[in-house]
């Protein structure tokens, strides 16, 4: 590639009464970038990349453009460097949810949260202590192929193929965890999957914590993250995986999916998403 790219991931649960109007404006201001942006009535989620100046211009517009009515002010952007250009094209979609949970009525919107329930977010420094406490179950809220590539030490793989399968795993184990007096420390890549899950798990009577900002924030915050993390972190773009210093690794899609018949479609998709450029 002729110019280095920076990767940016972000999300926010916020009520958007006109998702398609928001999406159209996003298409207009993101033409210099590549990646995927999802817009739904419950908010926005994105993984994008581009030259540093173009990315900065987009992030500023996202927060300040009058078309968004202040919905994205103060957005938390997580950045990482790129050797491989992560995306070739920019795609902006509207969907019913920014992340499909599979349980009707569950929302990540803060305005729907019960203020009487404790905040589940845990910063990286506290997370390091929490996951080593004896009554804590460290639960990986990602797909199994992601877990196999890398995970927190002592984490449990729920062995799910899709995020929408995760609630069934929790429901199956919730009573045993409560009987045993277990607390649940849950994590995912950037935090969005845990946002959808945490309040619902509290409704099941569980004491649950989520790693604020996900594994990406842990890597960014903790310079010695390799003390707690085993392996690499899968990322949903052409880089495939990054290490604990947010640097791209030599891992390929074949390394991740080869020999896994149930994941053959993911390998085929990865190849489709990897045109020259």
CB 231 within 8 A of CB 142: no
| CA 44, 209, 153, 226 torsion-angle sign | positive
User: Which of these is catalytic: 55, 155, 188, 194?
Assistant: 188
Q: Provide the H-helix boundaries in the chain.
A: 19-29, 52-64, 124-130, 144-149, 166-179, 192-203, 214-221, 253-257, 264-272
Told to judge if 188 belongs to the known catalytic residues of this protein, a careful annotator would answer yes
Rounded CA separation 188/182 (Å): 20
Rounded CA separation 87/109 (Å): 29
CB 235 within 8 A of CB 215: no
- Is residue 133 exposed (0-12), middle (13-18) or buried (19+ Cβ within 10 Å)? exposed
User: For 2, how many CA atoms within 13 A lie in the half-sphere containing its CB?
Assistant: 0
**67 token code pair:** 């078309």
Rounded CA separation 199/162 (Å): 19
Rounded CA separation 28/53 (Å): 17
- Is residue 210 exposed (0-12), middle (13-18) or buried (19+ Cβ within 10 Å)? buried
**154 token code pair:** 């002592």
Catalytic positions, written as ranges = 188
């Amino acid at each position: 590639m002729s110019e280095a790219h920076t990767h940016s991931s972000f999300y926010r649960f916020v009520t958007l009464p006109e998702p398609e109007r928001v999406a159209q404006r996003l298409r207009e201001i993101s033409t210099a970038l590549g990646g995927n942006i999802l817009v739904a009535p419950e908010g926005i989620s994105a993984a994008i990349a581009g030259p540093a100046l173009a990315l900065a211009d987009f992030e500023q517009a996202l927060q300040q453009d009058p078309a968004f009515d202040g919905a994205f002010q103060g957005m938390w952007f997580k950045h990482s460097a790129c050797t491989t250009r992560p995306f070739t094209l920019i795609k902006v979609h509207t969907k019913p949810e920014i992340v499909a949970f599979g349980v009707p009525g569950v929302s990540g919107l803060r305005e729907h949260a019960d203020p009487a329930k404790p905040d589940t977010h845990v910063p990286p420094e506290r997370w390091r202590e929490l996951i080593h406490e004896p009554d804590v179950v460290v639960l990986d809220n990602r797909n199994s192929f992601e877990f196999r590539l890398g995970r927190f030490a002592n984490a449990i793989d729920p062995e799910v193929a899709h995020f929408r399968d995760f609630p069934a795993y929790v429901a199956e184990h919730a009573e045993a965890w409560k009987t045993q007096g277990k607390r649940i420390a849950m994590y995912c890549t950037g935090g969005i999957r845990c946002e959808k899950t945490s309040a619902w798990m509290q409704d099941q009577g569980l004491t649950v914590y989520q790693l604020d900002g996900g594994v990406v924030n842990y890597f960014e915050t903790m310079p010695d993250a390799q003390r707690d993390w085993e392996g690499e972190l899968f990322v949903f773009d052409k880089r495939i995986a990054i290490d604990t210093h947010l640097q791209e690794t030599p891992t390929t899609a074949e390394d991740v999916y080869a020999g896994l018949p149930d994941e053959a479609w993911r390998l085929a998709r990865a190849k489709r998403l990897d045109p020259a450029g």
